[in-house]
Amino acid sequence: MSGMGKLSALLIGASLPGAAVAAPAAGDVTDTLVIHAGAVVAIPGEKPLGPTTVVVRRGRIAEILPGYAERPDARSIDLKDRTLLPGLIDTHVHFSFAPETKLWSAAIDTPEDVALFAFSNAKKTLEAGFTTVRDVGSDGYSIHALRDAVNDGTVVGPRIFLSGTSLSIVGGHGDMSGLNRKATEALYPYDYTGACTGAVECALRVREAAKYGADLIKIASTGGIMSQQARGLGQHLSDAELVSIVTTAHSLGLKVAAHAHGGEGVAASVRAGVDSIEHGTWLDEETAQLMAKRGTWLVPTLGLLDGRKDGDASPAVQAKMAEARAVAGRNIRLAVRYRVKFAFGTDAGVSPHGQNAQQFRLMVEQGPMTPAAALRSATVDAAALLGQSDNLGTIEVGKYADMIAVAGDPYRDVTVVERVSTVISAGRVIVHDGNANP
C-alpha cells in the first residue's frame, strides 16, 4: 500500500470493497427534512408529478405525498417554484487531475496534495448536482482515501465508486510516457502504474486492485488521445489479456470498464465481455449491434476535448485530438439507432470539473436524444450500470435522498440542469438557492 493508503487507513479506518454504497454521513441525518416541490421528475423518462411533498428521514426518502403536507416539527425547504429531480450521476470522472495538470506534476505533488486537489474537484462536482460518480482512473490511493472519508462523514462529497489506477500495456494509455527514463522510473515505477503483460500478470493486477479496495476495474484496451506518444488509438491489450482481465474481475464480483477508441479495440473488448465501453469514439454499426445484443454499456464522453486547447498539447496528441473531433457524436448516434444501453459520463478531469451537466446539451444535439432520455442516462441508467438501482437514480421511497432542484422544465430545456438551485445528498442540503452550505 502507498504512503497515502497507509495514512488514510490510520486516519479513517480501513474500508472494504463496495463500501462506496454507504450513504455519505454528514451532519445529523436522523432529523426529518420536508421538501415541498412544485413538480417532481421522480423517474426520469416518465411523466413528472405535480405539487409534491417529499419526506426524508435518516438520509433516505421516507414518504412521497401529493400536495403540500405539513410536518410542523421538521425542517422544511420551499421548492414550490422549482422542479425536483434525482441527484445526477457521472460515470466517468478523474478527480486526481484536471485539464491544467502538468505531465511532471508527480515530481512536485505529494499524495496529500493530490488528496486535497481531488477533494476540491469532488466538491465542485457535488455542488453542480452530481451526487454520485464513478472515478475510473486516479493515481495512487488518494482517491481511496477520499471515497472512504466521504462515506464515514469526515468530508462532504459525492458518493464515489472507483477503479484506482487503470490497467494497460507497458507504455500504453494507463502507463506513463513522455518523460525521460530516469524520471519515469522514479515517479512511475512499473508496479505503480497498473501496466501488465500477458494473461497471468493482467489477472494479478486485477486481484491487486480488488485487494486494495477497487469497486470496479478500469482498463485501457486501446491507445489514448492524451497519451504522450504517437502509437495511435488502435487495440493495445491482446484478446487473451482482455479475456483474462474480464474473467478474473467477474469472478471477484467486479465490473470492467474499458477505455476504447479505435474500432478494433472496441470490438475486441465487447467480445471479451467487458461491462462498459468508455468513449467508443470509432464505434461502428456491427459492434453497436453486438453491444445491444450482449447488453454492453456505452459511456460516450461527448465533451472529452472541450477543456483542451490544441496549442497546449504535443504534436502527437494534437494529431489524435483532430482524428477524434472528426467523428465526434458518431458513437451516441449509433447507440441511439441500435438501442445500445448508455450511461452519462463526461471524462471530467480531461474536461473541467463542475461543468459536467453541459454534456446533456451535446447528447440532445448529437444523438439526437430527447432531454428525458439524456436525463435518464444520468439517473436511472447510470444507477443500473453501477449496480445500484435499489439505492440510486430515482426519487422513490427507500432510496437515498439524493436530489436536485432547477428552475424550469428539464424535459423542454435540458440546459436548466446546468444551473441547479438546490442540491441534497443523502438528506443533507449541500446547496440551496444557488448558495453552498458549510
User: CA-to-CA distance for 164 and 77, rounded, in angstroms?
Assistant: 37
406 and 337 both lie in a single domain = no
Per-residue b or e along 330-348, where b marks 16 or more CB atoms closer than 10 Å to that residue's CB: bbbbbbbebebbbbbbbbb
Whether pTM exceeds 0.95: no
Backbone angles phi, psi at 388, to 5 degrees: -125, 30
256 and 347 both lie in a single domain = yes
Q: For residue 54, give the CATH number of its domain.
A: 2.30.40.10
Range of the domain at 271: 88-386
Under 8 Å CB-to-CB from 288, ≥6 apart: which residues? 334, 335, 337, 338, 340
**Digitized pLDDT (tens) for each residue of the chain, 438 residues in all:** 333 333 333 232 333 333 344 444 444 445 899 999 999 999 999 999 999 999 999 999 999 999 999 998 899 999 999 999 999 999 999 999 998 887 667 778 888 999 999 999 999 999 999 999 999 998 778 999 999 999 999 999 999 999 999 999 987 776 666 666 676 665 666 666 789 999 999 999 999 999 999 999 999 999 877 666 666 788 999 999 999 999 999 999 999 999 999 999 999 999 999 999 999 999 999 999 999 999 999 999 987 665 555 556 667 777 777 777 778 889 999 999 999 999 999 999 999 999 999 999 999 998 899 999 999 999 999 999 999 999 999 999 999 999 999 999 999 999 999 999 999 999 999 999 878 875
177 and 98 both lie in a single domain = yes
173 and 294 both lie in a single domain = yes
81 and 112 both lie in a single domain = no
Count of domains in the chain?
Answer: 2
